[in-house]
Amino acid sequence: MREDDDRFEAYLRGFSAPAASADVLARARERRRIRVRQQRFVWALGLAAACVALSFVMLRPRPEVVPPPVVAVQPEQALPRNPASHHAMSLAYARGGAAALDAHLDRAERQLLPVDLREPL
């Protein structure tokens, strides 16, 4: 069976396709040259487009920057409404040291309402 297959294969090898044209390799080389040239052109085009986009961004007139207005606020005006806040306590300490802070906390404590934790929130 195996020998039969081998013989049949040998018989089949007696047939052949027509050969490729004689200049197939030269044409393949030419095709490659064209492809390389096309690739270079596409790269150059991409690079040029990127450069144009970049220069457009760089040369665009920048909007004028207006500095934010400085507001002079008196310490009394700037006093926050929440007396227990960090800012309020810092302010009190800055004004009168530890005694002022104690007094401030006393005032703040008086403003707080007692909360019954047994009641649902």
Q: Give residues in contact with another protein (CB under 8 A).
A: 5, 8-9, 12-21, 24-25, 27-29, 31-32, 35-36
In the bound state with another protein, the residue whose beta carbon lies nearer, of 35 and 87, is: 35
Query: Taking the complex as a whole, how short is the minimal distance between the CB of residue 46 and another protein, in angstroms?
Result: 20
Separation CA 54–CA 50 (nearest Å): 6
Residue with tokens 């700037």: 78
In the bound state with another protein, the residue whose beta carbon lies nearer, of 34 and 99, is: 34
Write the CA distances from 102 to 50, 69, 78, 95, 107, integer angstroms: 65, 35, 20, 12, 9
Q: What is the largest CA-CA distance in the chain?
A: 114
In the bound state with another protein, the residue whose beta carbon lies nearer, of 18 and 67, is: 18
Query: Taking the complex as a whole, how short is the minimal distance between the CB of residue 18 and another protein, in angstroms?
Result: 5
Separation CA 31–CA 35 (nearest Å): 6
In the bound state with another protein, the residue whose beta carbon lies nearer, of 17 and 66, is: 17
Query: Taking the complex as a whole, how short is the minimal distance between the CB of residue 1 and another protein, in angstroms?
Result: 11
